[in-house]
Structure 1
Amino acid sequence: MNIHEYQAKILLAKYAVPLLKGGVAYTKDEAMDVARKLGKPVTVVKSQIHAGGRGKGWFKNDPGGKGGVRLAKSVDEVGANAAAMLGHELVTKQTGPVGKTVKRLYIEEGCDIKRELYISMLVDRTASRVAVVASTEGGMDIETVAHETPEKIVTQTIDPAAGFQGYQGRKLAFALGLSGKQVGAFVALIGNLYRAFTELDCALIEINPLVVTAGGEVIALDAKMTFDDNALYRHAELEALRDLDEEDPAETEAGKYALNYVKLDGEIGCMVNGAGLAMATMDIIKLYGSAPAN
């Protein structure tokens, strides 16, 4: 199960993850009210959809215009951006050409960014452990970094019996070029993320970017959280965060009957009688330049 950025930040704030102040808005007026309360010279207006690449995306009604993450230097500018984004379809690499309708925004204070880093936590099924993945290439798609400059990615796996160890955080911090107080702040951040990951039964926590400000602070500028559907029965508070408008209706309907259904957007249908054969068939289709369909 996925949630919105602002929801992830509310959860992570409870685990002492360093964040900027902000608030959610569903209308232009609400967005302006949040901006007034923040009282900052620069405010960021962020579209809230379940997809990455929002800043580099484009709106169907204004293909040549700005993306789904915009800077504003006045309350009126926040309102203008909110009006231009709410109710319109935002297209990113992850949404496909159909895009997703923006129904809510996150209004956040701006900051003076010196460096952008990448950090994520996920289950490494090969190692049977939680892995912490870090990179100096923050703000970029991690798959692109892995393909083009894999040497810029560093990983630490966490022994579930021992838990996260400080030396692992320091290794990552040094690999990212952090120094001084930043190292301690980073180690504490990773420890808090690991606690959130395990206590909330996460499948993924991604901070992209994790920024170092001009003042030397380490702050989570973005946040993505995905939860293990099989563990939601013990997290009613997380189930309540689900936004069905962001999910495929067919997948939602299948879930009601405990069926695993994944919507595919290819053009070649597959009829198979086993999971292994299904995966092999889809791999072959992709190998020859096409894509499978339901």
Structure 2
Amino acid sequence: MDLFEYQGKQYFARYGIPVSPGAPADTVDEAVTAAEDAGYPVVVKAQVQVGGRGKAGGIKLADNADEVREHAGNILGMDIKGHVVRRLWVEHASDIEEEYYASFTLDRAAKKHLLMLSAEGGVEIEAVAESNPDAIVKLHIDPVDGLDLATARQAAVDAKLPERALDGAADILVKLYTCFTEGDCDLAEINPLILKPTGEVHALDAKVTLDGNAEFRHPEWEDFKGLTEMDDREKMAAEKDLQYIGLDGTVGIIANGAGLAMSTLDVVNQVGGAAANFLDIGGGANADVMAGALEVINFDENVKSIFINIFGGITRGEEVAKGIVEALGRVDLKAPIVIRLDGTNAEEGRQILADAGIPEDKLRSEPTMLDAARAAVALAAGA
């Protein structure tokens, strides 16, 4: 679950991370009230889950109530890269001496948490990595050991933060790590992390992604769902209890298991294609689940081919095949299917598909993931 900026800041505040005083607002009058409570000057910020708000006119400085009314009225309802602004965050404006970058995420390959810290903040970290990779300090943290203040301070030294920012930055890094771990985040990012002329270090922005698998531990997360942005595909998938994320490509993806689904996206990209989605059907690939998955994929007008990638473990190949055959009788697909079926009872499953008499221009089987990806990408390109 991706949080809006204001939600991320509220989450940070629970862990003692200093953020600007402010409040959300859904109307112009609420924005004025929030500004008066925060104290002028204030920043009126569009709350959308997309970058480029400032360039689009979605972030404005205001010195008085009239300016807040003007900016709030202009920003509410604004379309920023396809995202309509329905809520604002109004906060006290901060004086900035320097801007840094800090984040925690999980490095799955290393099986450790990863701190990324840079003295070059305020821009996309990808841009820093491309132009000056040495400006980013990467520190792996063993979850058993955690992060202490001395290690956090040394990371700030290695990142070449100025002396006057070291203690404040180290304190925030430890608190951000606590937020990341105890708060069950997939990502906890501050960009920019600022140094004020007074010497205080402060989180000026917040990007937080919560781990949905930990939701049972956090009933309070229910409050975050009100303005969660989902496109029509994602809404349909949610209604069918499918793990789905919409993307912009032309190859629809169905896989059993999040790891395999991610690998499938990677291999499609590797052979020159682009995935239209991430869709994990988990271990229960029966007819109802498969039909639901195909209905969601079929709803996407951009999908030109469908790549079903199944590796049977607990999931048995013949059950997957039966599910696909039955699902095809219930869903009138607009795009052809390429399937790679391997693992438990895969031969039986492939035989069931062969015996079903489905025309090859509607469904074809390939022996490997790479072969199937190439076939799906070729079909999408030729559509």
Band of TM-score, shorter chain: 0.7 to 0.9
Give the structure 1 partner of residue 187 of structure 2.
Answer: 204
2:78 alignment partner in structure 1: 88
Is there any run of 5+ residues in structure 2 with no aligned partner, and where? 277-302, 304-383
Q: Sequence identity of aligned pairs in percent?
A: 40
Matched residue of 2:235: which SS?
helix
- Would the aligned equivalents of 2:253 and 2:275 in 1 still touch at CA under 8 Å? no
TM-score (norm 1): 0.86
CA distance in 1, matches of 2:7, 2:239: 24
Structure 1 match to 2:53: 54
- Deviation of the 1:272 alpha carbon: 7.5
Q: Which residue of the other structure, out of 253, 272, 283, is the alignment partner of 2:270?
A: 283
Paired amino acid for 2:54: G
| Deviation (angstroms), 1:256 | 4.0
1:213 aligns with 2:196: yes
1:130 alignment partner AA = H
CA–CA separation in structure 2 for the residues paired with 1:176 and 1:278: 33
Kept in 1: contact 2:136–2:159 (CA 8 A):
no
Quick one: distance in 2 between partners of 1:178 and 1:145? 16
- The 8 Å contact of residues 2 and 242 in structure 1, kept in 2 or not, is answered as no
Residue correspondence of structure 1 range 170-181 to structure 2 within 5 A: 170-180=153-163
Higher RCO (CA < 8 A, seq sep 6+): 1
Which residue, out of 266, 269, 277, partners 2:251?
A: 269
- Kept in 1, the 8 Å contact 2:22–2:37? The answer is no
CA 1:242–1:151: 2 relative to 1, 3 Å: same
Find the counterpart in structure 1 of residue 359 from structure 2.
none
Question: In the alignment, which residue of structure 2 is the partner of 1:156?
Answer: 139
Cα RMSD, aligned residues only = 2.0
Higher alpha-carbon deviation: 236-245 or 213-222? 236-245
Superposed CA offset, 1:166-204 (max 9, x none):
232112211343345532222111111111111121000
Report what 2:66 is aligned to: 76
Give TM-score scaled by structure 2 length: 0.67
Structure 1: runs of 5+ lacking an equivalent: 59-66, 92-98
Moved more, 148-157 or 201-210: 148-157
Letter of the 2:113 counterpart: V
Moved more, 199-208 or 173-182: 173-182
Bigger-Rg structure (1/2): 2
1:193-272 alignment, distance < 5 Å: 193-243=176-226, 246-266=229-249, 268-269=250-251
Once residues 108 and 264 of structure 2 are traced to their aligned partners in structure 1, the CA distance between those partners, rounded to angstroms, is 21
Deviation at 1:227, TM superposition (A): 0.7
Mapped partners of 2:16, 2:192: distance in 1: 17
Which moves more between the two structures, 141-150 or 257-266?
Answer: 257-266
Distance 2:213 2:4 in 1: 20
Tell me if structure 2 keeps the 8 A contact 1:88–1:101.
yes
- 2:116–2:139 contact (8 Å) kept in structure 1: yes
Deviations 1:100-122 (A, max 9, x none): 00001000111210001001111
Question: Relative to 1, partners in 2 of residues 1:106 and 1:83: Cα closer, same or farther, differing over 3 Å?
Answer: same
Conserved? CA contact 1:270–1:278, under 8 Å: no
SS in 2 for 1:113: coil
Range with bigger deviation, 111-120 or 166-175: 166-175
Deviation, structure 1 residue 39: 2.5
Which deviates further from its counterpart, 241-250 or 140-149? 241-250
C-alpha contact 2:25 2:88 (8 A) present in aligned 1: yes
Q: Give the count of matched residue pairs.
A: 272
Question: CA separation of 1:135/1:179 partners in 2, compared to 1, >3 Å: closer, same or farther?
Answer: closer
How far did residue 52 of structure 1 move?
A: 2.5
CA contact 2:253–2:264 (8 Å) conserved in 1: no
* Residues 180 and 188, structure 2, Cα contact 8 Å, conserved in 1: yes
Any idea what SS the aligned residue of 1:240 has?
Answer: helix
